[in-house]
Amino acid sequence: MTALRTAALGLAAVLLSSAAALPAFAEARNIVLVHGALVDGAGWRGVYDILKRDGYKVSIVQQPLTGLDQDVAATKRVLDQQDGDVVLVGHSYGGTIITAAGDDPKVKALVYVAALQPEMGESTGQLVQSMPSPSNDIKPTPDNFLFLDPAKFPADFGADLPKDLAEFMAHSQMPVALAAFQAPVPVAAWHDRPSYGIVATKDMTLSPDLQRSMYKRAGAKVTEVEGSHALYISKAEAVAKVIEEAAKAAK
């Protein structure tokens, strides 16, 4: 009986020491990344690789950009697949999407990367018009989608990207429906969750001052990074660092 008790105590000690050795984010820490307008989720590859290396489970939403409702539904579809707490991250128009989709109970923190952070009832277009971007090269198509003039894309969207990558992105755009920019968000999830905002200080597509204003209004923890609108690609390490900060704080 004594031998059995000693063995049981020894096993318990091993299990407890193993649990203590696990990193804090092993407790079901999931990251969901949402891209913005004109691009797809492939731009998150650098951030994805860093987060995966550091032990996080990372999923990337490939929303259709056909309307806010559809884009939010695509995001919630990915959230439904997560097991445990989630940090939800949005770039650019993706910030509008995570503001609406972030009311999911799994979402414990929101990270805005050179992103819109609307209040309930506000739309992307309304916010952009309130403080215009440094450049104005986005044009409508006859069927009411928006795209960025390919000749202007590298300078406007990704001035700090390698030239060949910026040019490829310019010619592989995913136009966004004008209706998506006109739709008001039905809920602002950042009221009930901590939020983090990254300002791209050299952004020519979304006014850095607008980013600062929205983040301040929301009480977000702000990090300023010298980079273009595409800093989620060009400054992947800095972006991943903020995401990991949010993940570790989301208890």
Asked if residue 124 belongs to a domain, the reply is yes
Whether 49 is in a domain gets the answer: yes
Task: Please report whether residue 7 resides in a domain.
Answer: no
**Residue 4 within any structural domain of the chain:** no
Give the CATH number of the domain where residue 125 resides. 3.40.50.1820
Domain assignment present for residue 68? The answer is yes
Tell whether the torsion through CA atoms of 238, 89, 48 and 174 is positive or negative. Answer: negative
Summarised one tens digit per residue, pLDDT across range 47-77 is 999 999 999 999 999 999 999 999 999 999 9
Give the CA-trace dihedral at 66, 68, 73, 75, to 10 degrees. Answer: 100
Instruction: Evaluate whether 148 touches 38 at the Cβ level (below 8 Å).
Output: yes
Cα-Cα-Cα-Cα dihedral sign, residues 136, 138, 143, 144? negative
The model's pLDDT over 151-193, given as tens digits with 9 standing for 90+, comes to 999 999 999 999 999 999 999 999 999 999 999 999 999 999 9
pLDDT of residue 250: 84
Count of domains observed in the chain: 1
**Residue 198 confidence (pLDDT) above 70:** yes
Residue 231 domain flag? yes
Report yes or no on 243 lying in a domain.
yes
Q: Which domain holds residue 127?
A: 25-249
Within a domain: residue 16? no
* Sheet of 176-177, strand order: 138-140, 145-148, 176-177
Separation of alpha carbons 186 and 171, rounded Å: 33
Burial 213-226 (b: 16+ CB within 10 A, else e): ebbeebebbbbebe
Q: What is the pTM of this model?
A: 0.89
